[in-house]
Amino acid sequence: MTTQASERLSYSISELCDLSGAGRKSVYAAIRRGDLKTVRLSSDGRKLLITAESVRKWLTPRPEPESLEA
């Protein structure tokens, strides 16, 4: 698999909020639930990046659950 130079591999919290329109609390909640995968960078571990693959999955619409009413 080749990666184009313009293809993002990760996003910061702020970038994802701007991209998706979601608030910081929603993004952090998705991280806690495991919906968004993260990578910590820097020697002190403070730089948190979210993988682009998990962002694509998170932003992909899911089908509505079928109604139980008959």
Band (18; pLDDT cuts 50, 70, 90):
very high
Residue 66 lies in a domain: no
Report pTM.
Answer: 0.74
Residue 68 lies in a domain: no
At residue 7, the pLDDT reads 85
Convert the pLDDT of each residue in 43-56 to its tens digit: 887 899 999 999 99
Gyration radius of the chain's alpha carbons: 15
3-state secondary structure the chain: CCCCCCCCCEEEHHHHHHHHCCCHHHHHHHHHHCCCCEEEECCCCCEEEEEHHHHHHHHCCCCCCCCCCC
Write out the residue range of the structural domain in which residue 24 sits. 10-59
Instruction: Name the β-bridge partners of 41.
Output: 47
Residue 48 lies in a domain: yes
